[in-house]
Amino acid sequence: MIASALRLPVALPLLIYQSVVLAAAQIWANKVRAVLTTMGILIGVAAVSSVIALIDGMKERVLAEFEAYGTNKLSIHPQWRKSDIGQRGAWRRIVFKNNLFDELLDRCPSVEMFSRDAGYGTMPIAYRGQVEEEQVAFNGVDPQWHTIERRGTVAGRPLTMMDSQQTRRVAVINQKLRDKLNLDKDPTGEVIQIDYFGKFLVVGMLDQPVTMMGQDAQEGQVIAPFTYTTWRFNWPTWYDVTAVAKSRELVEDAKAELDFFLRQKRHLKPGEEPNFRIETAARAVDEINTLASTLTTVAGGIVAISLLVGGVGIMNIMLVSVSERTREIGLRKAVGARPSAILTQFLIESVVLCLLGGALGLIVGQGLTSGVACFLPADVNRMMMYDPMRDETAPEEESKQATGQSIIIPPRAIELAFVFSAFVGVAFGMFPAIKAASLDPIEALRHE
């Protein structure tokens, strides 16, 4: 009994090895039939793997563009409450005072920087007395805006702290406005008139913005120091604030700190409805992940039909194989082969056949994925934080490198393909294997 117990761990791997060798020999002897039999598995695995690869690639691209846009950003906006509507002086209570955020960095340790942004909508602009018919977007911002929005300058200089502290009438324009006004390639030193805000000296030109999904601004743009645009008039200015957490992991901490800071500064009681709102990109990222998972599940369920069809084909060909090898089965049983050995042999042959289809399906799936990826837009947004000292050609070089990259089937899709293939082999090969194992040796030897 002890000897048989010691032989069992050796006999089982040996039986499996011999069964795999026999299965490979049978498949090699009927190569064309084996490939045609696995077409259903091949198509199913190719469809599943390519769909998962493309969805993962799309998700990673969108998340990468969110990363470039800034997943650690927080947007702070004044917000009207129902109780404020129609009340006298409500406007002054709702808008942010210009000095409201002076202590923000000291009181909110998770916040790295912030910029106020007073958007004045679109305004007519004049250059050398000629009024531009098309409207341009005009914003008053803090110098940190350049870093937060990844908007450096390709000519001249960005806004500085000196501009802000001395409320200088300087402006930075974008390339579209330069072209509309027919300015020189380097527009610095020109003077433009911004409607009733007065004349501004152009000190720089913005580079292209980091935008979501390759979109670009379609209008001219002018930015000026926030302090000048708000000091120019006596009435309170409606402005928003964009803050940046020190890391993506600290976004929720930064949001809680900002909420506590603003409730104190705006004298809100505990439980009182806030007259401001704080938004983050975390919710959008979660929705993208959920959507990708849902699409993967639905697509996997649809293409699983191909695996079902392939499984039926495997069962059919294994039944044919049992019928063709009936005399062989009877001979093996006559010389002492156990039914379990016969069952294992045919079951492993079915699994090997399915794994072969799965491997071919992965190769075809990678080919399909690479083919589809060639037709996707090649534009790649800048994935780096603005650095005034960096080479402005770096994003272009980065885009060229990314264009040549291909979408690769993720490891989880490969694992899923082989697991499904093995499952189909076991599920649809079990009946033919049982039939082979249950054959009577005498009747099998008489089979013609």
Mean pLDDT, residues 418-435 taken together: 84
Give the mean pLDDT of the chain: 78
Q: How far apart are CA 242 and CA 399, in angstroms?
A: 28
Give the model's pLDDT for residue 133. 59
- 317 and 237 in a common domain: no
Q: Regarding predicted confidence, which is higher, 139 or 330?
A: 139
For residue 436, the one-letter residue type is A
Structure confidence at residue 374 as a pLDDT band (50, 70, 90): confident
Same domain membership, residue 302 and residue 346: yes
Which range of residues forms the domain containing residue 358?
2-68+285-446
DSSP state of 212: G
Query: 94 to each of 97, 115, 256, 407, how far by Cα in Å?
Result: 9, 19, 20, 49
What mean pLDDT comes out for the span 297-307? 74
Indicate if 244 and 333 belong to the same structural domain: no
Among 351, 332, 320, which residue's Cα sits nearest to residue 435? 320
State which of 259, 280, 301 marks the end of a domain.
280
Give me the percent of the chain exceeding a pLDDT of 70: 81
Does position 121 have pLDDT exceeding 60, yes or no? yes
Q: Does residue 401 share a domain with residue 276?
A: no
Question: Which H or E element spans position 359?
Answer: helix 339-374
| Residue 297 identity | T
Q: With a cut of 60, say whether residue 388 has pLDDT above it.
A: no
What are the structure tokens assigned to 354, written together? Answer: 């399915």
Question: Do 333 and 238 belong to one domain?
Answer: no
pLDDT digits 0-9 by tens, 272-299: 888 899 988 777 777 777 888 887 777 7
Which is higher by pLDDT, 61 or 39?
39
Residue 67 is predicted with a pLDDT of: 65
* Residue 262 contacts residue 74 (beta carbons within 8 Å): no
d(CA 65, CA 42): 34
Select the more confidently predicted residue: 75 or 45: 75
Given a cut of 90, is residue 210 above it in pLDDT?
A: no
Distance of alpha carbon 445 from alpha carbon 151, whole angstroms? 83
Judgement on whether residues 169 and 36 belong to the same structural domain of the protein: no
pLDDT for 403: 41
The verdict on 93 and 21 lying in the same domain is no
Q: Are residues 299 and 442 in the same domain?
A: yes
Q: Are 350 and 429 in contact (CB under 8 A)?
A: yes
For 44-56, the pLDDT digits (tens) are 888 878 888 888 8
Using 50, 70 and 90 to split pLDDT, how confident is the model at 213?
Answer: very low
Share of the chain above pLDDT 90, in %: 20
Does the structure show a pLDDT above 80 at 209? no
The whole-number pLDDT of residue 10 equals 60
395: confidence class by pLDDT, cuts 50, 70, 90 = very low
CA geometry: angle 216, 121, 197, nearest 5 deg: 120
Q: How many domains does the chain have?
A: 2
**pLDDT bracket for residue 360 (50, 70, 90):** confident
Element spanning 115, H or E: strand 111-127
Which domain-ending residue is among 280, 304, 327? 280
Residue 44: which residues within 8 A CB-CB, separation 6 or more? 303, 304, 305, 306, 307, 309, 310, 361, 420
Task: Give the C-alpha distances (Å, rounded to integers) separating 144 from 113, 223, 259, 280.
Answer: 7, 12, 21, 19
Return the number of other C-beta atoms located less than 10 Å from residue 416's C-beta: 18
Q: Which helix (H) or strand (E) holds 445?
A: helix 441-446
Least confident of 1-10, 222-231, 338-347, 423-432: 1-10
- pLDDT band of residue 132 (cuts 50, 70, 90) is low
Look at residues 280, 301, 319 and tell me which one is the last residue of a structural domain.
280
Written as six digits, the tokens of 321 are 């194989």
pLDDT at 263: 92
The burial class, CB within 10 Å (0-12 / 13-18 / 19+), for 132 is middle
Q: What is the pLDDT of residues 153-206, one digit of tens each?
A: 999 999 999 999 998 999 999 988 888 888 888 999 999 988 888 899 999 999
Q: Are residues 254 and 291 in the same domain?
A: no
Q: What is the structure's pLDDT at 218?
A: 57
Average pLDDT over residues 371-392: 49
pTM over cut 0.75: no
Does one domain contain both 262 and 386?
no
pLDDT of residue 116: 93
Residues 91 and 51 in one domain: no
Q: 320 in helix, strand or coil?
A: helix
Q: Are residues 234 and 218 in the same domain?
A: yes
